Amino acid sequence: MGQGTRLSASDEKVLEPLLQHVQSAESGRDLEVEGLSSRSLVLVLDGWACRYKQLEDGRRQIISLFVPGDLSEPFGTLPSLKDSSIGALTPVTYARLQPEELQRIARENAGIHQALWWDLLVTMSMQDERVVSLGRRSASERLGHLFCELCARLDLVGLAEGNTFDMPMTQADLGDLLGLSTVHVNRSLQELRGSGLISLRNRRLIIHDVEELGAISLFDPAYLHVGNGLPASQPGRSTS
């Protein structure tokens, strides 16, 4: 999932039964709360959500972002990534899946199985790249890098028109995601606007010069693994 484009039409049909428990949540609500022992998976259908951790003193860090098509836990079955919460950044429509159900389907369907491994791979790669951003990129580089990544991700699910797309995150949310204060996000954003690289009005982002924005933020799309197919082998699939 993540990039469902990789799934064939018949694959998608297999997933339909999963979409029985469709729910929705308003912006700011939690879909899953930290520490809850029994957790289900969340497949975001519409809106943006995130996984985050909150420190005792209130500091908050968003760990990963979910746009439509994204699955909350890579491979849909690491039930113990539960020391973080899942929150809605906008009003969200989502399907709540039972891990066992997804596992059963994956077992019976090679395409789905591969797609899940691919999703896991991309998720981890993005996580790596986020570490690089937080550790070594400046504020505006982080923003530029994020926008380039989002443009690519949203394009895969048909939510980007060229280099324009909806970016419904609040500046405070961006700060929590990129490890910056709200005020500094605002100023860095203006810097990017000032250079003519982007426009951001009414929650709509236009990247005027993707090449240049990617260059200044040291963005190398390789880590998203789009275009290249699946890696040769995946483990765990013992039935042929």
Name residue 228's amino acid: N
The residue range among 6-14, 20-28, 76-84, 187-195 that interacts with a second copy, by the rule CB under 8 A, is 76-84
Q: Which helix (H) or strand (E) holds 183?
A: helix 182-194
**Residues 168, 143: Cα–Cα separation, whole Å:** 14
Binding-site string for a second copy from residue 10 to residue 49, where x marks contact by CB under 8 A and - marks none: ----------------------------------------
Phi (first) and psi of residue 237, to 5 degrees: -100, 90
**Residues 234, 195: Cα–Cα separation, whole Å:** 44
| Residue number with CB closer to DNA (103 or 186) | 186
Min dist CB 26 to DNA, Å, is 8
The residue range among 1-9, 99-107, 156-164, 205-213 that interacts with a second copy, by the rule CB under 8 A, is 99-107
| Residue number with CB closer to a second copy (67 or 224) | 224
Based on the shown chain and the rule CB under 7 A, indicate whether residue 132 belongs to the binding site for DNA. no
Kindly report the number of other CB atoms within 10 A of residue 111's CB atom.
Answer: 15
Tokens 């951001």 appear where?
200
| Residue number with CB closer to DNA (27 or 109) | 27
- 218 contact choice in DNA, a second copy, none (CB below 5 to 8 Å, kind-dependent): a second copy
**Residues 189, 179: Cα–Cα separation, whole Å:** 14
Based on the shown chain and the rule CB under 8 A, indicate whether residue 81 belongs to the binding site for a second copy. yes
Counted residue by residue, the chain has a size of 240
Tokens 């939690």 appear where?
30
Phi (first) and psi of residue 42, to 5 degrees: -120, 125
Based on the shown chain and the rule CB under 7 A, indicate whether residue 77 belongs to the binding site for DNA. no
Based on the shown chain and the rule CB under 8 A, indicate whether residue 9 belongs to the binding site for a second copy. no
Do 42 and 94 meet the contact criterion of CB atoms below 8 Å apart? yes
**Residues 10, 14: Cα–Cα separation, whole Å:** 7
Residues 6+ apart with CB under 8 A from 157: 3, 4, 5, 67, 68, 69
Residues 133-152 that bind DNA (CB under 7 A): 138-140
Binding-site string for DNA from residue 160 to residue 199, where x marks contact by CB under 7 A and - marks none: ----------xxx--x---xxxxxx-xxxxx---------
Q: Give the residues across from 62 on adjacent strands.
A: 52
User: What are 118's two structure tokens?
Assistant: 């691919």
Which residue among 9, 16, 17, 80 contacts a second copy (CB under 8 A)? 80
Residues 168-207 that bind a second copy (CB under 8 A): 176, 178-179
**Site for DNA, rule CB under 7 A:** 27, 138-140, 170-172, 175, 179-184, 186-190, 202-203
**Site for a second copy, rule CB under 8 A:** 53, 55-57, 59-61, 63, 74-81, 83-84, 99-100, 102-103, 106-107, 113, 116, 120-121, 124-125, 127-128, 130-132, 134-136, 176, 178-179, 218, 220, 222-223, 225, 231-239
